[in-house]
Structure 1
Amino acid sequence: MPPPPLFSVEQWMDKYETTAKFNIAETCCASVSIEELASLSENKECKASDIIDLAAIQNYGEIRGSTPLRNNLSRLYSSKVGTPLPPDNILITPGAIAANFLVFYALIKPSDHVICHYPTYQQLYSVPASLGAEVDLWKSKPDNKWLPDFDDLKAMVKDNTRMIILNNPQNPTGQVLPKSLLQQIVDLAASKDILVFSDEVYRPLFHGITPMDKDFPPSILSMGYKNTITTGSLSKAYSLAGVRVGWLASRNRDIIEQCASARDYTTNAVSQLDQQVAAFALSPDTLHSLLGRNIQLAKANLELIERFVIKHDEYCSYTKPVAGTTAFVKFERDGKPIDAKVFCETLQAKTGVMFLPGDVGFGDEWKGYVRIGYVNRTEVVKEGLEELRKFMRKEYDELPLCE
């Protein structure tokens, strides 16, 4: 297997995030300390020292993941569905990035064809291609609230289509694939025995759509089709990126066993300490407060982004996100997209504000776009946008345009 191409998003983040004064390219909800996590528990007697068992022997522990953590995840995936998801149908991994890789490594072979929802995290299409699979991109439409066309998906399916890859909620746009479209995808996949894999790492951070909406998107595991797989982690919606815990789950136990066999070559076990923190964060005593904190943070900060875009609507535009932590904003001048790479480099050099250029992170066709991660702490977003406002007034007219 040849290595995939350079991972452009991660290369950019690695280069710039440690020197940013106002990192509003970050896609995680504002991270919390262990002490802050303990304070969110409904058990007001809880202290940070109670989260980790300091007396526990630090061996590998349960290889596929700790029982308390998988029980808590099982509870989340079993809510409001007729058939609970067994804990044994969940594998713990060192982050969602490892879970995603494991799904492809275990299930994709060179003769396969896969279809990937796009734009999205580069890993989701570059890794299958590096494994020798033929990859087609199912493109979301910016002029239709970033919804892809189901007829386009049907036309892409081939006799050797092995997997449909989704990202829901979607990075970088902050939009969702609605329930009605998910049902069409699942029905199509079931009719042709195609796997459906959904990266749900930004779930359940919904702030512009509620469960009362008829098209509120459930997890792909709740759509009634056995051959579905999902991945998630503590990094994005749960503010614990430094706790390297992710997972993959499926209704099909055979899929889990294939992934578990492949996992033997990549992961002996995930840190017991990390899993204890993860289990605490996802416990009934903590989960709702933690998620509530992040949803309110997302709502408050998104209004700051909204006001900025409206005030500068002659230069920038976007579709307001309804979920996740990212907005995909297009910057133009004189009817042409700006050079987003130069924009982001100049902006950070002169103000300390960090964005991610869309054509660097998500493909050449996204010229003029930048991804903004707006669920940092509110003061960081507010101060960063104020620096951006000053930059727009003094420097924006000098930025080069794309042809």
Structure 2
Amino acid sequence: MKIAPFAVEEWMNEYEVGAKYNIAETCVDSISLDELFELTHTDKREFLDDICARRLTYGDIYSKPELLKGIASLYKTVNTDEIVTCHGAAGANHHLFYSIVEPGDRVISVMPTYQQLYSIPVSLGADVKVMHLEKDKNYLPDLDELRRLAVKGTKMICLNNPNNPTGALMDEALLKEIVEIARECGAHLMVDEVYRHLTQEDVWSPSAADLYEKGISVSSMSKVFSLAGVRLGWIATKDPSVLAACRSHRDYDLISCGMIDETIAALALSHKDEILSRNRTLIRENLSVLDAWVKSEPHVSYVRPKAGTTSLVYYDLPMDSYDFCRDMYHETGAFVTPGDCFEEPHSMRIGYAADRETLKNGLAAVSEFIKRIAKD
């Protein structure tokens, strides 16, 4: 199977390890096991003794009951038997497409977004139609365009909410309009929700899996819960045909998730409120830092993110984004992601969920580079 190179992941693979100021990271500042134990008031010795005494079998094939209970608690209507766990959200997205998309199927996606949401369906031979999200519309889907594309028999509409890289957020009213479009044409509505719950305001984050009988939510422990090292994600849906297809294919490519990963994730989700409080505070305070920086820099602009951990920042300098980000990395140590990874030229994706000092120092380094380039 041929597939397009994954632009953003190839960039991260090449440059992330040596970065001095990593403000390309998309996870909320990652935590250690020690920090998890502290946040959850867990006895470290008791937890580790329990883990170390276990025989390393496959564990629960359909996942640890405590984990499924924790995942279900993130939704309003999803039950524990309506969840399929996978290796991260990346694994969940791939698994979902592989399980239900066939050659010739009409699949509607958006751009900019995480490349999986259009490149994998293309690789499977789907008839992929892409809606371009526009800056002057706050990167929200154009419903008239969606109605034109969503012909009868459309297999799937793929969205990302909150959006990566822009931080745009579809509210419940907009999602319900999209649900009606999907219902009218008979399509599944798949929403990559890996940044769900990371809002700038104290509002409930609606999920496609709660709003629509054919809605599908994909998420993970990585972004929201700061546990990317726990390679654990999931597909949540009330659609029995999707669940059956995913479980059937799961026997071929997964069998089960790691029992140690599941135990750690279950612990985190049993104390989700503590972790969410920590992480919402961090992204809200850090966005104020980013926002002040954007307002102070005459050469950059953006649409202020409403949720998530990333922003798409445009610059008005005559320099290709790959060259801009690469030269800046080597000159200053500031690491961001080229907008061209998302087919958005003259821009960069900045992740603002790192620790505060890294963000401040990284933005200062970007300013230093811009000042030098603007002089030339």
Structures share fold, TM-score greater than 0.5: yes
1:289 aligns with 2:270: no
Secondary structure in 1 aligned to 2:131? Answer: strand
Deviations 1:123-177 (Å, cap 9, x if unpaired)?
Answer: 1100000000011112211012112210010011223311000100000000111
User: In 1, are the aligned partners of 2:107 and 2:155 still within 8 Å (CA)?
Assistant: yes
Deviations 1:74-109 (Å, cap 9, x if unpaired)?
Answer: 12213xxxxx32211111111000100111001100
Alignment of 1:235-250 (within 5 A): 235-250=222-237
Amino acid at match of 1:339: D
Structure number with the higher helix fraction is: 2
Deviations 1:331-389 (Å, cap 9, x if unpaired)?
Answer: 003xxx53211110111001111011111x112xx110100011011111111112222
Amino acid at match of 1:210: D
Distance (Å, rounded) in 2 between the aligned partners of 1:124 and 1:22:
29
Match of 1:145 in 2: 138
1:195 pairs, out of 185, 188, 206, with: 188
1:66 aligns with 2:50: no
Secondary structure in 2 aligned to 1:155? Answer: helix
1:362 pairs, out of 342, 348, 355, with: 342
Amino acid at match of 1:394: R
1:50 aligns with 2:85: no
Match of 2:295 in 1: 310
| Count of residues in Structure 1 that have an aligned counterpart in Structure 2 | 375
Amino acid at match of 2:242: I
User: In 1, are the aligned partners of 2:156 and 2:189 still within 8 Å (CA)?
Assistant: yes
2:148 pairs, out of 155, 168, 176, with: 155
1:172 aligns with 2:165: yes
1:53 CA displacement? 2.4
Distance (Å, rounded) in 2 between the aligned partners of 1:247 and 1:3:
25
User: In 2, are the aligned partners of 1:34 and 1:48 still within 8 Å (CA)?
Assistant: no
Match of 2:26 in 1: 27
Distance (Å, rounded) in 2 between the aligned partners of 1:227 and 1:390:
49
Distance (Å, rounded) in 2 between the aligned partners of 1:218 and 1:130:
30
Residues 243 and 48 (structure 1), Cα distance of their counterparts in 2 relative to 1, 3 Å cut: farther
Match of 1:393 in 2: 371
Amino acid at match of 2:44: K
Q: Any runs of at least 4 consecutive aligned residues in structure 1 with deviations exceeding 6 A, and if so which? A: none
1:262 aligns with 2:259: no
Match of 1:114 in 2: 107
Distance (Å, rounded) in 2 between the aligned partners of 1:318 and 1:351:
22
1:260 CA displacement? 0.6
Residues 89 and 350 (structure 1), Cα distance of their counterparts in 2 relative to 1, 3 Å cut: same
Amino acid at match of 2:5: L
Distance (Å, rounded) in 2 between the aligned partners of 1:332 and 1:320:
17
Match of 1:210 in 2: 202
Secondary structure in 2 aligned to 1:161? Answer: coil
User: In 2, are the aligned partners of 1:111 and 1:132 still within 8 Å (CA)?
Assistant: yes
Residues 343 and 257 (structure 1), Cα distance of their counterparts in 2 relative to 1, 3 Å cut: same
Distance (Å, rounded) in 2 between the aligned partners of 1:308 and 1:144:
23
Deviations 1:193-212 (Å, cap 9, x if unpaired)?
Answer: 111001001111112x332x
User: In 1, are the aligned partners of 2:153 and 2:185 still within 8 Å (CA)?
Assistant: no
Match of 1:75 in 2: 73
1:191 CA displacement? 1.9
Match of 2:175 in 1: 182
1:49 CA displacement? 5.0
Amino acid at match of 2:99: A
2:122 pairs, out of 104, 118, 129, with: 129
Secondary structure in 1 aligned to 2:316? Answer: strand
| TM-score between both structures, scaled by the size of structure 1 | 0.90
Alignment of 1:372-383 (within 5 A): 372-383=350-361
Secondary structure in 1 aligned to 2:236? Answer: strand
Distance (Å, rounded) in 2 between the aligned partners of 1:397 and 1:166:
40
Match of 2:261 in 1: 274
Amino acid at match of 1:308: W
Match of 2:91 in 1: 98
Match of 1:10 in 2: 9
Task: Specify every segment of 5 or more residues in structure 1 that has no aligned partner in the other structure, as ranges.
Answer: 79-83, 399-403
1:48 CA displacement? 6.3
Deviations 1:24-83 (Å, cap 9, x if unpaired)?
Answer: 011111100000011111x4x6326526622121100111211110011112213xxxxx
Amino acid at match of 2:305: P
Amino acid at match of 1:368: H
Distance (Å, rounded) in 2 between the aligned partners of 1:345 and 1:158:
42
User: In 1, are the aligned partners of 2:97 and 2:121 still within 8 Å (CA)?
Assistant: yes
Task: Specify every segment of 5 or more residues in structure 2 that has no aligned partner in the other structure, as ranges.
Answer: none
User: In 2, are the aligned partners of 1:347 and 1:388 still within 8 Å (CA)?
Assistant: yes
| TM-score between both structures, scaled by the size of structure 2 | 0.96
CA RMSD of aligned residues (A): 1.4
Match of 1:298 in 2: 283
Secondary structure in 1 aligned to 2:53? Answer: coil
Distance (Å, rounded) in 2 between the aligned partners of 1:198 and 1:352:
34
Range with bigger deviation, 97-106 or 262-271: 262-271
Secondary structure in 1 aligned to 2:27? Answer: coil
User: In 2, are the aligned partners of 1:331 and 1:338 still within 8 Å (CA)?
Assistant: no
